[in-house]
C-alpha cells in the first residue's frame, strides 16, 4: 500500500507480521520521514488497542470518517492557540477523508493527532531554541499520547481532548484573547504573543496547589495558592551574560533563617579577600567574616549571620545543580531601581523575611511565633518544611502584571529571538524533552554585584 506522507513524499507501508504475532505501526515512523519507509503494522488494524504505552510513541489507531472530520476541524481552528494549521497539512488529511476509511487514513489522522498533542501539550519550540531552559515537563508521562488518542476516538470527542491540553492559566488565557484581538497585519505583536503562549506549554500544566513563580524580565515573584495571587515581591535577577538567571522548576525543602555565606574562591583568592580578612581582624569582625587557612595553604572565608551578611536574613533552600536560590539582601534600596538585572544569577527578594516566614508556616515547618523567635535569635537555623513548595523561575516577555493587565517586558537576555525563529521554521519532530545546554553553576556574590 502506498500513501502520501506529511512532507509530500511517497512512503510504503509493508505489513509484516508472523502468524499469531501482531506488530505495531507507530504514526511517527511515517509522518516524520521524507523518504520511502518500510515499517511493521498490526494486520487489519481495526481496534484502538494500544500495544505499547510509551509517552514518546503512539500506535496508529482506527479513525472513522466522523472522527477524522472532527480532527480536521480542530486543525483548521488551531490558530487560536497560536499554532499554525499548515504544520498539520489539513489538505492531505482532507484527501484521505475523501477516499473513505482506510489504513492510509488511520496513519494520516493518527500522525497529525500526535503532532497536535505534542505541540499543544509540550510546546512547539524545540529544546535548542529554549535558551537556558532546564525544566523537564512531566506532562508527556502524565498524559501519554496514545491514551489521549484512545479517549478521543472512543468518546468521539477529538476536539474536547485536544482542547484539554492547553495551559489552564490566566496568563495563557489573556494571551489567547490578545491574539484573537490583534489584527493579522500586526505581525510583530502576533509573533511575540505566540512565543509567550508557547512558553506556557513548556511548563507543567498543573503547577500545584501552592507555589512560587517568578518572571525574570518582570522582576517580580508571586506566591500563589489555588491559582490566586497571595503576595507579590520585587526581585533582583542575574545580569545578562554568563550570570543570567536560568529557567528552573525546583522545590523548596527548607527555609534558612540568619544564613551564613561561604565566600567563593573567585573572591577569596581572586579579589584577595582571604588575606585581607586574616590581616585586618578588626575590619573582618565588623563585616562578620571569619577565615581559616587549610593545610594546603588555601584560605576559606565564611560570613556569619548579621546585618552585613550578603544573603541578608534568609534564603530558601531549593537544591539544584545551578546553586540558584531565593534570598534576602542588606542593600534593599536596590529594589527601587528600574534595572534590577544585576546579580550573579540568584534571585534577591524584597520583604524576604515575610516570605521566609510565610513559606515556613505554609510548609508546616514552624508556627508564626516559632519563626519570629528563630529569626530574633540571630543564629543560623534551617527549618525543614513538611509540605514542600514548587518554585518556577520563568521567562515571559509578555504576560499579566500583578494588577491583571497584559504587559510587555524587556527581553533582557535576548531569549525571544530563537523562539521566534523556530516558529517561522517547519515543525520539528522527535524533539528532545531535556536540554543539552551546559549547566552553569551560579556563584552568587551579592557583595560585589549589588554596587
Q: How confident is the model at residue 110, as a pLDDT?
A: 96
Burial class (CB within 10 angstroms; exposed 0-12, middle 13-18, buried 19+) of 80: exposed
Pairing of strands 406-408, 341-343: unpaired
Mean pLDDT over 151-179 rounds to 97
Polymer length in residues for the chain: 451
Q: How far is CA 206 from the centre of its chain?
A: 12
Whether 79 and 180 have beta carbons less than 8 Å apart is answered as: no
What is the per-residue pLDDT for 355?
Answer: 97
Query: Per-residue pLDDT averaged across 420-434, rounded?
Result: 93
Mean pLDDT of the residues in the chain:
87
Using one digit for the tens of pLDDT, what is the confidence trace for 291-338? 999 888 899 999 999 999 999 999 999 999 998 999 999 999 999 999
pLDDT above 50 (res 287): yes
Q: Of the candidates 331, 352, 356, 351, which has an alpha carbon nearest to the alpha carbon of residue 343? A: 331
Indicate if the pLDDT at residue 173 is higher than 80: yes
Three-state DSSP at 316 gives: strand
CATH 3.40.50.300 fits 209-260+305-449, yes or no: no
Pairing of strands 220-225, 341-343: unpaired
Does the global pTM surpass 0.95? no
**Spatial distance between the Cα atoms of 132 and 197, rounded to a whole number of angstroms:** 18
Residue 57 has pLDDT above 80, yes or no: no
Q: Is the pLDDT of residue 264 over 70?
A: yes
Domain regions of the chain by residue span: 2-166, 209-260+305-449
- Identify the sign of the CA torsion 82, 85, 86, 88: positive
Shortest CA distance to 124 belongs to which of 70, 160, 86? 86
Give me 142's grid cell. Answer: 502524565
Amino acid at each position: 500500500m502506498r500513501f502520501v506522507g506529511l512532507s509530500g513524499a511517497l512512503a510504503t507501508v509493508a505489513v509484516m507480521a508472523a502468524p499469531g504475532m501482531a506488530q505495531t505501526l507507530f504514526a511517527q515512523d511515517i509522518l516524520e520521514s521524507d523518504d520511502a519507509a518500510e515499517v511493521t503494522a498490526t494486520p487489519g488494524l481495526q481496534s484502538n488497542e494500544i500495544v505499547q504505552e510509551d509517552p514518546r510513541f503512539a500506535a496508529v489507531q482506527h479513525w472513522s470518517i466522523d472522527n477524522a472530520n472532527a480532527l480536521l476541524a480542530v486543525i483548521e481552528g488551531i490558530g487560536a492557540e497560536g499554532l499554525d494549521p499548515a504544520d498539520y497539512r489539513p489538505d492531505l488529511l482532507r484527501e484521505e477523508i475523501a477516499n473513505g476509511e482506510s489504513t492510509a487514513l488511520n496513519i494520516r489522522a493518527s500522525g497529525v493527532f500526535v503532532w497536535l498533542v505534542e505541540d499543544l501539550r509540550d510546546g512547539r519550540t524545540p529544546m535548542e531554541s529554549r535558551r537556558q531552559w532546564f525544566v523537564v515537563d512531566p506532562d508527556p508521562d502524565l498524559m501519554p499520547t496514545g491514551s489521549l488518542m484512545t479517549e478521543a476516538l472512543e468518546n468521539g470527542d477529538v476536539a474536547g481532548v485536544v482542547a484539554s491540553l492547553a495551559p489552564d492559566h490566566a496568563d495563557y488565557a489573556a494571551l489567547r484573547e490578545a491574539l484573537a484581538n490583534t489584527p493579522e497585519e500586526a505581525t510583530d505583536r502576533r509573533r511575540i504573543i505566540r512565543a509567550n503562549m508557547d512558553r506556557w506549554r513548556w511548563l507543567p500544566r498543573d503547577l500545584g496547589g501552592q507555589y512560587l513563580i517568578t518572571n525574570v524580565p518582570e522582576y517580580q515573584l508571586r506566591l500563589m495558592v489555588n491559582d490566586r495571587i497571595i503576595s507579590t515581591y520585587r526581585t533582583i535577577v542575574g545580569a545578562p551574560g554568563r550570570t543570567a538567571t536560568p529557567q528552573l522548576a525546583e522545590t523548596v525543602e527548607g527555609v534558612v533563617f540568619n544564613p551564613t555565606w561561604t565566600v567563593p574562591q573567585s573572591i577569596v583568592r581572586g579579589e584577595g579577600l582571604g588575606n585581607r580578612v586574616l590581616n585586618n581582624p578588626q575590619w573582618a569582625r565588623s563585616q562578620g567574616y571569619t577565615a581559616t587557612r587549610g593545610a594546603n595553604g588555601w584560605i576559606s572565608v565564611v560570613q556569619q549571620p548579621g546585618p552585613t551578611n550578603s544573603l541578608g536574613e534568609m534564603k530558601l533552600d531549593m537544591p539544584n545543580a545551578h546553586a540558584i536560590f531565593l534570598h534576602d539582601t542588606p542593600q534593599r534600596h536596590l529594589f527601587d531601581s528600574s534595572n534590577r538585572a544585576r546579580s550573579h544569577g540568584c534571585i534577591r527578594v524584597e520583604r524576604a523575611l515575610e516570605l521566609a516566614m510565610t513559606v515556613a508556616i505554609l510548609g508546616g515547618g514552624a508556627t508564626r511565633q516559632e519563626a519570629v523567635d528563630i529569626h530574633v535569635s540571630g543564629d543560623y537555623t534551617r527549618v525543614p518544611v513538611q509540605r514542600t513548595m514548587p518554585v518556577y523561575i520563568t521567562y515571559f516577555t509578555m504576560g499579566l502584571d500583578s494588577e491583571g493587565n497584559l504587559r510587555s517586558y524587556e527581553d533582557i537576555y535576548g531569549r525571544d529571538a530563537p523562539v521566534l525563529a523556530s516558529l517561522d521554521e517547519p515543525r520539528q519532530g522527535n524533539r528532545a524533552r531535556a536540554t543539552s545546554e551546559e549547566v552553569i553553576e551560579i556563584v552568587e556574590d551579592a557583595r560585589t554585584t549589588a554596587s
